[in-house]
Amino acid sequence: MKLNPDEEELEHIRQEIVGFIRREVAHAGAEGGVVGISGGVDSALTATLAKEALGSKLVALIMPERGVTREEDVEDAKELASRLGISYHLVEIGDAVARVLNSFPVDAFPQRRRKIAVANVKPRLRMVNLYLAANLSNSLVIGTGNKTELLLGYFTKYGDGGVDLLPIGGLYKTQVRALARHVGVPERIVSKTPSAGLWRGQEDEAELGMSYDELDRILYALYEEKLTPEQAAEKLKMELSRIRAVYKRVEANEHKRRMPKIKAF
């Protein structure tokens, strides 16, 4: 698959993902799916394809954190669900986050470690809500992560990484945006500044240190074209240090992409 697929290829990808969702839900003996909608392009695309696959058997959760989640994201999520005809529940997680943090001695740990540790509580609580809804409805949790995030480890282990299916997990962010436009996701969602929304003002690309466009070009060269970092740097006309930084991040986060290791006897 090309990093920038044409319309014919995008239509093929759409059909493949819809069929994948439908088959996996049926194979599991489940009655439907549950998806979290954040107001971003990844969840919007996933919800759109899951709705096509499952129809009324898809339920969505919108899980903002008061004072942190952008209001525009909540409104975009609601509007998308309504436009697609997806039944949804609005679950505010702020009180649950506060209870977890108030019950644990966070202050006893080094200050430098607290920001990410506390932030990761939020996607893990969202995962709890998704599985509660899934268990109540005999459904599978449909994840919204893309291949760029999965390779980089830019997700929370047992948080937004805790799902049953990853329908767009084989697509780079560049391809996600293209497919989202192809299936009619509103442009304001597609072109929105990406943010995991774990603290006020968070932006993915600022945290990652590169744009998704640049990251995808590097990752595609390394993992689809199978180039060495040196070859990728030459082909892409980029500094080798940037290529190596991405490569090292992928390798360091391998543990997030595999099942826990079991001691064999």
d(CA 218, CA 192): 22
Q: Hunting for tokens 């809500």 — which residue is that? A: 129
Which of the residues 65, 73, 149, 164 is marked catalytic? 149
Can you name the residues that pair with 32 across neighbouring β-strands?
139
Q: What angle do CA 161, 194, 253 make, to 5 degrees?
A: 35
Tell me how far the alpha carbon of residue 36 is from its chain's centroid. 10
Cα–Cα distance, 155 to 88 (Å, whole number): 23
Q: What gap in Å lies between CA 141 and CA 165, rounded to an integer?
A: 7
CA distance linking residue 29 with residue 26, whole number of Å: 5
For the question of residue 149 being annotated catalytic, the response is yes
Give the dihedral sign, CA 36/40/46/48. Answer: positive
Q: Is 73 an annotated catalytic residue?
A: no
DSSP state of 202: -
Q: Which residues are catalytic?
A: 42, 149
